[in-house]
Structure 1
Amino acid sequence: MPSLDSLKTLKTLQVDDKTYHYFSLPEAAKSLGDLDKLPMSLKVLLENLLRWEDEKTVTDADLKAIAAWLKERRSDREIQYRPARVLMQDFTGVPAVVDLAAMRAAMAKAGGDPQRINPLSPVDLVIDHSVMVDKYASASAFGQNVDIEMQRNHERYAFLRWGQSAFNNFSVVPPGTGICHQVNLEYLGRTVWTKDEDGRTYAFPDTLVGTDSHTTMINGLGVLGWGVGGIEAEAAMLGQPVSMLIPEVIGFKLTGKLKEGITATDLVLTVTQMLRKKGVVGKFVEFYGDGLSDLPLADRATIANMAPEYGATCGFFPVDEVTLEYLRLSGRTPQTVKLVEAYSKIQGLWRLPGKEPEFTDSLALDMGSVEASLAGPKRPQDRVSLPNVGQAFTDFLGLQFKPPSKEEGRLESEGGGGVAVGNADLIGEADYHHEGSTYRLKNGAVVIAAITSCTNTSNPSVMMAAGLVAKKAVEKGLKRKPWVKSSLAPGSKVVTDYYKAAGLTQYLEELGFALVGYGCTTCIGNSGPLPEPIEKAIQKADLTVASVLSGNRNFEGRVHPLVKTNWLASPPLVVAYALAGTVRIDISSEPLGNDKDGHPVYLRDIWPSTKEIADAVTQVNTAMFHKEYAEVFAGDEQWQAIEVPQAATYVWNNDSTYIQHPPFFDDIGGPAPVVKDVEGAKVLALLGDSVTTDHISPAGNIKADSPAGHYLREQGVEPRDFNSYGSRRGNHQVMMRGTFANIRIRNEMLGGEEGGNTIYMPTGEKLPIYDAAMRYQASGTPLVVIAGQ
């Protein structure tokens, strides 16, 4: 390690017959003062600085600043943090690999060795964002969706296969394996990382940054990590530090236990609501309290996953015996588990009951007070108690009759904002015909019910609960309503292994929750099309319908462009709402349907007890993890059959609409542009609050009449083959045209009208933002984008 180690903290740790070198926090405390009350997450940052001290990027003043944090419990000091590794998914990872490939091309053009261009930090890219729910509710759906995915994304996957073979320190987890954050939790994460250098093995906390906001999930395993932008991730890949202020740390004390019938999803929705109200943007949240002793690691991971939704940089859980139990269960080696325990204890990173760090501020929750809940209709922090969901939907529907006020029209969250716009009345309905029958679709109809997302599919207790609800429902004779598109998309193959072991697969399939893929699917908007008769009925009557999903985001327009209300729920409640077919009833007290004898069946009749769930969870075993992760980087036959040239530089295809050589390095080596004042600028967009990356660069559907749609059609691509913005991020031509192309963005230059348009100020014309930007560029006019908080 390159550290100057001015505090003389380098020590050795013996674990069995293996010697590890590490930079000792207790030894640092002899010079910096008592660190005992420092939050665990800040101790991880301090160790990072000790290890990288060089008097250039990390100085002794940085070390002292973290130690001095305890005085004011905040700091204005900026530090240079170097994570141990980088995690990527394919939507955001492909552009990064394109940049690396372009760097190699530039190196070769300059006469250098292109193979010198490699990530310096380990990088894992998990392909999970591309699978769509094209086929569903059948045992063959998974195989069909895989075939469609491979055909649709062959060009991208060939490029990633090349990257996998061309770059050092770069691994690809092929499609059909799982969701990056669940794979990270179950396999990639180690809690304590090791590195061999100069004949020594160094041990230090596992840390990472990722190109996906829900990278935070790994904090449930005691691994500090969060999502960053692509440029920051590329810098980290190439060994550059991440600049950050020493954060405020908000303590969240958990006490008690969840009541009978309450799930980890109910808990995380409650935590999200509390922290959103508190205000934790740009801050670390660290969980503590005696309640952690009885909180399974899967529940911790569920809470950590939703840090972006409650606004924090991360939600950190310290290492304790629960952490070790999970590491053992998930198949980490005995040596790894022993090292995690020994290192955490000797460094003061081990959670001790009754011992509480000092925080900038704190709040507390008795888990016994948590109620069954959903979040919706369009923001994850808007928790609604289960009995009140029907009324919450009706209230939302009523808002559609009110003109959007200035406040309501401001962007509130990713994918949407303000009130919905529509002409449907409160009892809107439309008939549709399907498979020889006529059905009536009404406002509030659940048209999508998806067990999806690593948030919940990483949690065996809520997944087993869903399977048990399905079993009891089938035994009662209940059926999914015919207008519900149902799907099961776990974040890991381990889930389907334990469903099979518990004998629950058949019941889920009978209710339409057949496996559709191992990937993000509905949670990121890859819900696929609804049946054509249903789409036409929604459009004909301008119906306000619903999705219920076990995901982490429900912003308007995200799940499906025709579905205006989206509700986050636990997997068992997803099954229940598929049976009910509507969100307009109180499913806690009204019947879901009738049994074989015509008697009403209530939620309480099919809801499993805590003991039933716990008994089912015992089916989860270490052998399942060993089986599914033994060849995690190999891929299936279709992946292995992709032909890839063995070359140091990528062979660019000028006709490709997925992967294009970017121009960023064409003139590298010239003089840097002079920094000067911005004069004579024009406003390109005047936006509201909470403008997110999804507004700036959407990942979803490409409209045929958008600038990106026009470009693709000019290249001979038919609209049915557009795929998504996210899948085409390896082509800068599409990315430029997709800037601010979110269908729900509101530009106040146009009176709050939805869509990615603006006023071209020299003429007063209404233009797509891309077209206006190109005109301004041609005239050399600087541009400004204005947004709120």
Structure 2
Amino acid sequence: MPENVARKVISAHLLDGRMEPGEEISIRIDQTLTQDATGTLVMQELEALHLDRIETELSVQYVDHNLLQADEKNAEDHEFLRSAALRYGLWFSKPGNGVSHPTHMQRFGVPGKTLAGSDSHTPAAGSLGMLAIGVGGLEVAMAIAGHPLYLRMPQIWGVELTGRLPEWCSAKDVILEMLRRHGVKGGLGRIIEYHGSGLATLTAMDRHVIANMGAELGATTSIFPADIAVRDFLQCEGREEDFVELLADDGADYDLHEHIDLSTIEPLIAKPSSPGNVVPVREVVGEDVSQVVIGSSANPGLRDFAIVAAMVSGRQTVPSVSFDVNPSSREILSDLTGMGATLELVMAGARIHQSGCMGCIGMGQAPATDKNSLRTMPRNFPGRSGTREDSVWLCSPETAAASALTGVITDPRNWAREVGMPYPKIEFPARAAINTAMLVAPLPEEEARGVELVKGPNISSLPELPRLPDRLEAPVLLVVGDDISTDEISPAGARALPFRSNIPKLAEFTFTQIDETYPARAEEVAKSTGHFIVGGDNYGQGSSREHAAITPRHLGLHAVIAKSFARIHWQNLANFGVLALEFENPDDYDTIRQGDVLILDGVREAIRSGARLTVFDVTRELEIPVHHRLSRRQVNDVLAGGLIPNLARQG
């Protein structure tokens, strides 16, 4: 039977289960990726698992998020991560070497391999024909230790691309078109596989942009074939020997079908404060702009910076705009400099920042309150920028550059006509400026065993996770709406991020973007009754950060009752012993109020047997039927208080 690319890679790595949509399967993981904002917990989890040496083909620890060293905390995390990488046999990418996703693509990505990453944008590696999945840190730790990755078999969503992008449009507009059509929940339970004649017009780095932001659709991952474009990319990176052709068979079918004629794409933009809030740029032209930020894993390619440099060459950005450029890797910065593009950016008023995530995760570059910030980044959730009342828009490099030059949101096609500028034809180097000096290779196994983990005062141990009680009687401390993101549960930004390795301290920031009183109220009832949270649709969308599960758990959260859950956060809750329940009747969401006391009795036997679950709202004297979607494996983890306590009890 003819197979598509996604099914080929899954079947080659399948360890257990049937490849039927919705069935739980387990797959072998070849590579892992961790970054510093999530990796500190992963390394603590490896310590808790008593790991001696990685069991994957290759694992890499990047430092790309918490780069600002305003005090000792981030530096201590970096030292801890470096020592852990040396101890356990991981590669270590030093601070400032680059954002994990493009750097991994440049140095380590291999077609047909599987990659599990503790970052939700890990699917960017699907641009090379990898099955790359963002998961919680504990699942990455398990993969590093040689365990399978478990997931529900997704539907394969075939998106046929035909035609060629018009001038002044680029790959960012393609993924924004997908978000315009389907919103932030359109990819739930699906792998997006791109195919069709239009692929011939997209480079590997163009595909990276599209695969990266498939995460914003809620997709399990996105994947492209490994074809001539991938071969050319690896050749440019000096890794021709890693190329493996991987194409869909003739006649391969998909569970779902979509078509995009690239020639019909126009400049698009995501309005505040959701990646799914997409409109044509022409509908919002003239809005004042105070900041433009170029960079991030969503637009990390050399062309994404070079096109901006060409547009601003010989011109000045307007005085009212802060023009910020974050090179995505040292390699990209070296190539930009060799082309003369760095000087063009600087002369136009750009501030050149470190090679890292920076403003994307709110680590610097926080915009002024209520002032429009245009960014070539993947997310614009409320407050993610580091400013509580922010106004962040997501767009292509072309739209961002045109707006920086005018001071208002500008359609780059109109700007080009007004200044008489043809679409730039840029000469790119045939060979990338490869520099591996900031990549630290794993130590030999015997030498690695002698390495001591370096733990500064800000690095805590994992908290104790008690087993799930048989009777839950506790108040609802929060009722939240649809599409609550992990940024709103466990905030990003320069205030909170330095405590990512200190769970008790990080817990003080939990849900504070929604309700500043939550941590204190949760702590008050944590040792007596604990508490519930009630949510709407797509609860926990966005980042893979497991902190959004573990800090509420530390504050006594027993269960979340929601209309539906985002994939990664749902799994993270199970990993840390929090019961994820869904309303049988979504309208029952409207009957519960903050402060209501809920009772869930006989819960252990009920979730073990699959019996009907009923929540009793004592305050309103209502019975509310709920259900869970946990597999037997996940049920055992939740009952034990989490995956690590369950493993400890088994051992």
TM-score, normalised via structure 2 length: 0.76
The residue aligned with 1:188 is 108
1:552 alignment partner, SS class: coil
Q: Deviations over 1:267-313 (max 9, x none)?
A: 22112322438822121111111111222211111100101112211
Write the distance in 1 (CA, Å) between the matches of 2:451 and 2:343: 48
Task: Output the amino acid matched with 2:477.
Answer: L
Write the distance in 2 (CA, Å) between the matches of 1:454 and 1:624: 19
Q: Deviations over 1:715-771 (max 9, x none)?
A: xxxxxxxx4322211112123223223x1x3xxxxxxxxx34xxxxxxxxxxx2222
Instruction: Give 1:44-193 correspondences, 5 Å limit.
Output: 44-49=9-14, 52=15, 58=16, 62=17, 65-66=18-19, 69=20, 75-102=21-48, 117-121=52-56, 122-132=58-68, 148=69, 153-168=74-89, 170-191=90-111
Equivalent of 2:279 in 371, 377, 384: 384
The residue aligned with 1:329 is 236
The residue aligned with 1:366 is 261
Instruction: Give 1:585-600 correspondences, 5 Å limit.
Output: 589=414
1:727 alignment partner, SS class: helix
Write the distance in 2 (CA, Å) between the matches of 1:562 and 1:606: 37
Conserved 8 A contact 2:312-2:405: no
Identity, in percent, stands at: 28
Write the distance in 2 (CA, Å) between the matches of 1:157 and 1:226: 25
Is 1:512 aligned to residue 349 of structure 2? Answer: yes
Conserved 8 A contact 1:288-1:356: no
1:621 alignment partner, SS class: coil
Instruction: Give the 3 Å change call, closer, same or farther, for CA 677–606 of structure 1 in structure 2.
Output: farther
Write the distance in 2 (CA, Å) between the matches of 1:490 and 1:522: 12
Is 1:632 aligned to residue 538 of structure 2? Answer: no
Is 1:737 aligned to residue 546 of structure 2? Answer: no
The residue aligned with 2:307 is 465
Task: Output the amino acid matched with 2:436.
Answer: Y
The residue aligned with 2:339 is 502
1:124 alignment partner, SS class: strand
Q: Deviations over 1:141-170 (max 9, x none)?
A: xxxxxxx568662212221222132222x2
Write the distance in 1 (CA, Å) between the matches of 2:185 and 2:84: 43
5+ residue gaps, structure 1, are: 1-33, 53-57, 70-74, 105-115, 133-147, 192-204, 342-348, 392-443, 539-543, 590-601, 636-644, 666-671, 701-722, 746-754, 757-767
Write the distance in 1 (CA, Å) between the matches of 2:263 and 2:195: 16
The residue aligned with 1:661 is 461
The residue aligned with 2:224 is 317
Conserved 8 A contact 2:159-2:192: yes
Instruction: Give the 3 Å change call, closer, same or farther, for CA 125–445 of structure 1 in structure 2.
Output: same
Conserved 8 A contact 1:300-1:317: yes
Equivalent of 1:680 in 473, 491, 516: 473
Conserved 8 A contact 1:652-1:661: no
Instruction: Give the 3 Å change call, closer, same or farther, for CA 520–652 of structure 1 in structure 2.
Output: closer
The residue aligned with 1:704 is none
1:364 alignment partner, SS class: strand
Per-residue deviation at 1:491?
1.0
Conserved 8 A contact 1:162-1:646: no
The alignment's C-alpha RMSD in Å is 2.7
Instruction: Give 1:387-406 correspondences, 5 Å limit.
Output: 387-390=282-285
Instruction: Give the 3 Å change call, closer, same or farther, for CA 678–693 of structure 1 in structure 2.
Output: farther
Write the distance in 1 (CA, Å) between the matches of 2:455 and 2:72: 20
The residue aligned with 1:350 is 247
Per-residue deviation at 1:360?
1.4
Conserved 8 A contact 1:83-1:209: yes
Per-residue deviation at 1:467?
0.9
Write the distance in 2 (CA, Å) between the matches of 1:277 and 1:777: 33
The residue aligned with 2:379 is 553
Task: Output the amino acid matched with 2:108.
Answer: L
Equivalent of 1:448 in 291, 296, 299: 291
Q: Which moved more, 1:271-280 or 1:222-231?
A: 271-280
Write the distance in 2 (CA, Å) between the matches of 1:737 and 1:278: 30
Write the distance in 2 (CA, Å) between the matches of 1:293 and 1:587: 24
Equivalent of 2:4 in 39, 48, 61: 39
Instruction: Give the 3 Å change call, closer, same or farther, for CA 646–504 of structure 1 in structure 2.
Output: same
Task: Output the amino acid matched with 1:88.
Answer: T
The residue aligned with 2:586 is none
2:373 alignment partner, SS class: strand
The residue aligned with 1:765 is none
Instruction: Give 1:236-247 correspondences, 5 Å limit.
Output: 236-247=143-154
Per-residue deviation at 1:573?
2.4
Write the distance in 2 (CA, Å) between the matches of 1:387 and 1:91: 37
Conserved 8 A contact 2:92-2:439: no
The residue aligned with 1:25 is none
Per-residue deviation at 1:630?
5.5
Count of residues in correspondence between the two structures? 531
5+ residue gaps, structure 2, are: 443-447, 538-651
Write the distance in 1 (CA, Å) between the matches of 2:247 and 2:413: 41
The residue aligned with 2:428 is 619
Task: Output the amino acid matched with 1:48.
Answer: H
The residue aligned with 1:292 is 199
Write the distance in 1 (CA, Å) between the matches of 2:66 and 2:46: 22
Instruction: Give 1:263-278 correspondences, 5 Å limit.
Output: 263-276=170-183
Q: Deviations over 1:552-574 (max 9, x none)?
A: 11123222416632111222322
Write the distance in 1 (CA, Å) between the matches of 2:462 and 2:71: 25
Task: Output the amino acid matched with 1:650.
Answer: L
Q: Deviations over 1:647-667 (max 9, x none)?
A: 5543655xx2x21233449xx
The residue aligned with 1:112 is none
Instruction: Give the 3 Å change call, closer, same or farther, for CA 81–223 of structure 1 in structure 2.
Output: same
Task: Output the amino acid matched with 1:224.
Answer: L
Q: Deviations over 1:127-154 (max 9, x none)?
A: 000235xxxxxxxxxxxxxxx5686622
Per-residue deviation at 1:699?
2.0
Write the distance in 2 (CA, Å) between the matches of 1:652 and 1:525: 25
Instruction: Give 1:466-485 correspondences, 5 Å limit.
Output: 466-471=308-313, 474=314, 478-485=315-322
Equivalent of 2:398 in 572, 583, 594: 572
Instruction: Give the 3 Å change call, closer, same or farther, for CA 278–311 of structure 1 in structure 2.
Output: closer
Larger Cα-atom Rg:
1
TM-score, normalised via structure 1 length: 0.63
Write the distance in 1 (CA, Å) between the matches of 2:114 and 2:77: 28
Instruction: Give the 3 Å change call, closer, same or farther, for CA 246–663 of structure 1 in structure 2.
Output: closer
